[in-house]
Amino acid sequence: MEAIASIAPEVIETTPSVSHTVPKLISGSEALMMGLVAEGVDTIFGYPGGAIMPVYDALYDYQDRINHILVRHEQGAGHAAQGYARMQSRAGVCLVTSGPGATNLVTAIADALIDSTPMVCIVGQVAKRLLGTDAFQEADVMGVTMPITKWNYQITNADEVPEILSKAFYIAQSGRPGPVLIDMTKSAQLELMTKPFVYERCQSIISYRPRRIPKQEQVEAAARLINNAKRPYVLVGHGVQIAKAEDELRLFVEKTGIPVATTLLGQSTISTDHPLYVGWLGMHGNYGPNVMTDQADVIIAIGMRFDDRVTGDASKYIKQAKVVHIEIDPSEIDKIIRADAPVVGDAKEALKALTALVQPNDHTIWRNEFRKYDTIEYEQITLPELTSTEGKIRMAEVIDMLSKKTNGEAVLVTDVGQHQMMASRYYQFRRPNSLVTSGGMGTMGFALPAAFGAQVGAPDRQIVAIIGDGCFQMTLQELGTIVQNKQPVKAIILNNNFLGMVRQWQQLFHERRYSFVELQNPDFITIARGFGMDGQTCEKRESLSDALDTMLNHDGPFLLEVIVEKEENVFPMVPAGASVAQIRLK
């Protein structure tokens, strides 16, 4: 039997080296600042505290080059950095103190890892001589974050700063992006370097060699499968947008005529009105894309990882199909679904190579099979949700109207729950990189700070946060950050006074035993005004259009609370543990 081997592929250099040399000896904190400048960092989301004060002191002299944004809670710093990173396609940077500062950041780090968001977190730590003594505000942040970072490192002397910082950015931003944490002792922040500061951007690490260019034989094997397919089907994940391969994807599907579905995070990779786009996959995805998965003969999965929210019961998933899996992270190949033709590499490079080898094909009949399911979904779910005249406003109406008023060009930043699924169902995305949501971790409280970070990262785009009343109360203090920084974030709370998704599950699977899901909510608009943000509440269907106009036309941030139907359910739905073919319409 052949030995199981996983070895490093060859190194691929892409970025030029930048070198900065300074003759005088400087402190670790100043070295950190200079390193950040050399990396091109223009924004830091952070919160000061005892064990990071030397760094904050150094930052005081760098305010003209680095914009520091004071958040209200370290979790907010993490999510804001995620939003920023998603818009900028480079690492978001967080700066927090030791102990509670670092542990407050943990949720955002875990969120960034599972959604492959590049982030560099710089965390203060107690002085080296106090390490391991249960000193004030000491927490084993290295141990805590080891399983949820792509890489972490504890700096205990100032000389390490340039090399470690450059490694951190390289690791966070290359290959499959992810969060990196640097734990820096206070002594390393204070002490002087013993050698001149030299900063060289890291370009390769001996033990870490992400493969960007796929092997030609893998591409050829994939092309053979695709060219012989009768019912091929492309499933697009977040990896395509990370690789900025939207154009390559479009060219590939337009040449081959293959229908495309996306995962939750893959949405907006291809315009919703593209004739080959059939909808999105997953537990609350569209009817056709889920059902048809079981009828394809070749599945081409690109930059996606077959999450259980996509596959349902994985043991019953695509048993009939051959699988082409294009993925930069080789550990995702065969992890959930066995690949017949794995292609390890960057989605952009892989799609370019593949498009050259595939033949044009007529898949019209196969593509049209999706449409009958679209009609069923439209008649049974979409139409009733969009045209209801009785009861309170429905979430679908809000998103549909927002979509029309913004021409599908806004960036939606959604929280987690029913409103997230409704936003995904009803917003007609026209531009790439237009949905920022917490997918893998499902972090409530994500949207408000992430929307703020996204607005900082993309000042020219209209950012609209879609938030549930439960989610909003997890990070609402970041209203203060938004106001202080004068960012024109628009936030819509879809308020049903419930933890809506949990209530839906309790209704469907726990005999309506509504266990602790009803919320007594505060007056959100008064709270917003307390922070200095304008807002209004909309309760009546006939005033929804005006309320949305008021929000979108408002100069500056705005909070719109929409009182929605209390017990509304999100359908279609693949019940947990069921196969995708068992998707329910009611």
Contact set with another protein (CB under 8 A):
1, 3-8, 10-11, 142-143, 146-147, 150-152, 154, 171, 205-208, 329-331, 333-335
Q: Which is nearer to another protein, 205 or 357 (CB)?
A: 205
Contacts of 387 (CB under 8 A, 6+ apart): none
Contacts of 390 (CB under 8 A, 6+ apart): none
Q: Which is nearer to another protein, 316 or 461 (CB)?
A: 316
Nearest distance, CB of residue 143 and another protein, angstroms: 7
**Residue 482 in contact with residue 386, Cβ under 8 Å?**
no
The residues with which 550 forms a beta bridge, in sequence order, are: none
Q: Which is nearer to another protein, 156 or 295 (CB)?
A: 156
Q: Which is nearer to another protein, 156 or 543 (CB)?
A: 156
Indicate if 586 belongs to the active site.
no
Q: Which is nearer to another protein, 143 or 577 (CB)?
A: 143
Q: Which is nearer to another protein, 202 or 350 (CB)?
A: 202
**Residue 171 in contact with residue 180, Cβ under 8 Å?**
yes
| Residue in 186, 348, 352, 490 annotated catalytic | 186
Nearest distance, CB of residue 27 and another protein, angstroms: 23
Nearest distance, CB of residue 20 and another protein, angstroms: 24
Indicate if 472 belongs to the active site.
no
Nearest distance, CB of residue 110 and another protein, angstroms: 13
CA distance 262 to 289: 9
Closest CA to 303 of 253, 244, 255: 244
The residue type of 66 is: I
Nearest distance, CB of residue 142 and another protein, angstroms: 6
Indicate if 74 belongs to the active site.
yes
CA distance 526 to 257: 53
The residues with which 277 forms a beta bridge, in sequence order, are: 260
Nearest distance, CB of residue 179 and another protein, angstroms: 13
| Residue in 136, 146, 359, 404 annotated catalytic | 136
CA distance 471 to 115: 19
Nearest distance, CB of residue 4 and another protein, angstroms: 3
Q: Which is nearer to another protein, 137 or 156 (CB)?
A: 156
**Residue 152 in contact with residue 145, Cβ under 8 Å?**
yes
| Residue in 88, 137, 484, 507 annotated catalytic | 137
Q: Which is nearer to another protein, 29 or 174 (CB)?
A: 174
Q: What is the largest CA-CA distance in the chain?
A: 74
Nearest distance, CB of residue 449 and another protein, angstroms: 28
Indicate if 429 belongs to the active site.
no
* Residue that is written with structure tokens 């449409």 in the block: 371
CB atoms within 10 A of CB 510: 12
Strands 197-200 and 19-22: antiparallel
Helices of type H across 427-490:
447-457, 469-475, 479-484
What CA–CA distances, in Å, run from 59 to 28, 230, 264? Answer: 12, 60, 38
Indicate if 230 belongs to the active site.
no
- What's the start-to-end Cα distance of the chain, in Å? 50
CA distance 309 to 574: 9
CA distance 316 to 581: 9
* 3 state DSSP class of 326: strand
CA distance 192 to 186: 12
- E strands, 71-213, in order: 92-96, 119-125, 151-155, 179-185, 197-200
| Residue in 74, 246, 248, 565 annotated catalytic | 74
| Residue in 292, 421, 441, 501 annotated catalytic | 501
Residue numbers annotated as active site? 74, 136-137, 186, 501
